[in-house]
Amino acid sequence: MPDLWQTDRETKRLAAEPLASRMRPRTLDEFAGQRHFLGEGKLLRRMLEADQLTSVLFYGPPGTGKTTLAELIAGYTQRHFDRGNAAAVGVKDVRHVLDQARKRLEYDGRRTIFFLDEIHRFNRAQQDVLLGDVERGIVTLIGATTENPYFAVNNALVSRSQIFQFEPLNEDDIATLVRRAIADDERGYGKLDVTIDDDALAHWATVSDGDARRALAALEIAVLSESRESKPIRITLEVAEQSIQQKAIAYDRDGDAHHDAISAFIKSVRGSDPDAAVYWLARMLHAGEDPMFIARRIAILASEDIGNADPRGIAVAAACYEIVHRVGMPEARITLAQATTYLATAPKSNASYMAINAAMEDVKHQRTMPVPKHLRSGAYAGAKHLGHGTGYQYAHSGESGFVDQDYLGVDKSYYQPTDRGYEKRIREYLAYLDTLRGAGDGSAGEA
């Protein structure tokens, strides 16, 4: 017998539901973003259209639609949908889901999607419970995680799943979702007279930082706070600013965001783009990155990427490291910015980096070269008797401070200076020394 009060209860429940929840897309075509794998002709879209969905892992920041897309996929494929959060369910719960999925398949022929949010919170043993039924197709797993699945998820589970990386929504996507919520009569504010200024919409699109929930939550606050009086609602920039918190950058000092940001910083300095380098520096500092970590990376890149093209670079980096250590934040940001912009605009050379790498490879894999006798020390007992140091020519005895002498024992060239910055002068000087070799420059005095 129908429950006479069911409609009333549903109405009250929906009234309490946040706007972001009410505005979840109902079809794949309404879903915003992730065109790189869900657009026409892309992998996930092809899998769905061919009804060949395998287990998948959704990886990306909050607010990008991982849970929503899982629900849409279940509806699109007409599969039973079970969901759980790895922080709240245990092995017993998972086994129950798997048992029911098996019965559903055997008795009704209906397949099951098991959406497991925060799958990285399962330990390896808990993840192993899923392996057998995932591999046999008893259940289609959709795991969602904000952590890199290659580190956080069991390798065996990763190998049985397609991985789709979610990107933050772009500003156009956010703006589209806000406009859709304003216009929607059923779930949004279409029944109210709501308008939004372009600069207000642009502010939300920027500050929400790709998180649709933040933008829709801001719209909800703005509308509810402005609708106390019966009149048209206009969302100005001032209202928009007061309806959303300043963005908090998603940044894990042990996670992918940490590695990606420092990688972008180093590559920007190497690429001689001071503006990009300073931006990535600011992003790391704003997110709470250890300034000493950044200073250490600056010291490394001063040798790796600038080298002798500007020998002052390493002195700047050394001074930066010392000052940041002694001063600390927030003033250290200025020193870090100075070192960053100096190195970004300095001429570049990785010749020293390439030289030591090549020499290390030879030391590791080639025959160990003995020290030539004339270069060996003659200071210890018996050294003179063994001929150590005999025949060594003192470089300063030559007119040019150079003598033609073998210092390695084999003909190898590791250091190849560029023709950029100061290294151009080094290259020219080495070429000059080549003209002196075999010309009899220098004397045979021993030291």
Q: Would you say residue 149 lies in a domain?
A: yes
Q: What is the pLDDT of residue 157?
A: 84
> Both 115 and 52 in a single domain?
yes
Expressed as residue numbers, the domain containing 430 is: 368-436
Residues facing 162 on adjacent strands: 56
Q: Say if residue 94 is in the same domain as residue 158.
A: yes
Task: Using the 3D structure, point to which of 242, 277, 300 is the last residue of a domain.
Answer: 242
Residue 359 lies in a domain: no
Please count the structural domains in the chain: 4
Whether the CB-CB separation of 89 and 190 falls below 8 Å is answered with no
Q: What pLDDT is recorded for position 443?
A: 44
Asked which of 218, 242, 266 is the last residue of a domain, the reply is 242
Q: Is residue 21 part of a domain?
A: no
Q: How many CB atoms within 10 Å of residue 38?
A: 20
Alpha helices per DSSP H over 243-273: 256-270
CB distance 114 to 97 below 8 Å: yes
Whether 141 and 196 share a structural domain:
no
Q: Output the pLDDT for position 439.
A: 60
User: pLDDT tens digits for 321-361?
Assistant: 999 999 888 899 999 999 999 999 999 999 999 999 999 98
Stretch (H or E) spanning 58: strand 56-59
Based on the fold, state whether residues 278 and 223 are members of the same structural domain. no
> What is the greatest pairwise CA distance in the chain?
114
Within a domain: 385: yes
- Residue 378 sits in the same domain as residue 336: no
Cβ contacts of residue 130 below 8 Å, gap of 6+? Answer: 94, 98, 114, 116, 139, 141, 157
Question: Structure pTM?
Answer: 0.58
**Residue 13 is assigned to a structural domain of this protein:** no
The pLDDT value given to residue 381: 63
Question: Which residues of the chain have a pLDDT value below 50?
Answer: 1, 441-447
Q: Measure the N-to-C terminal CA separation of the chain; round to a whole number of Å.
A: 109
Specify the pLDDT at position 445: 44
Written in H, E and C, the secondary structure of 2-29 is CCCCHHHHHHHHHHHCCHHHHCCCCCHH
Q: Is 28 exposed, middle or buried (0-12, 13-18, 19+ CB in 10 A)?
A: middle
Q: Would you state the pLDDT for residue 122?
A: 82
In a domain, 441, yes or no: no
Let me know: does 309 contact 421? Beta carbons within 8 Å.
yes
Give yes or no: residues 45 and 151 share one domain: yes
- Looking at 216, 242, 268, which one is the last position of a domain? 242
What pLDDT does residue 446 have? 46
Asked if 61 and 146 sit in the same domain, the reply is: yes
Q: How far apart are CA 314 and CA 305, in angstroms?
A: 10
How far, CA to CA in Å, does 59 sit from each of 62, 156, 261?
A: 10, 17, 18
* CA separation for the pair 246, 38 (Å, rounded): 30
Q: Is the peptide bond before 347 cis (omega within 30 degrees of 0)?
A: no
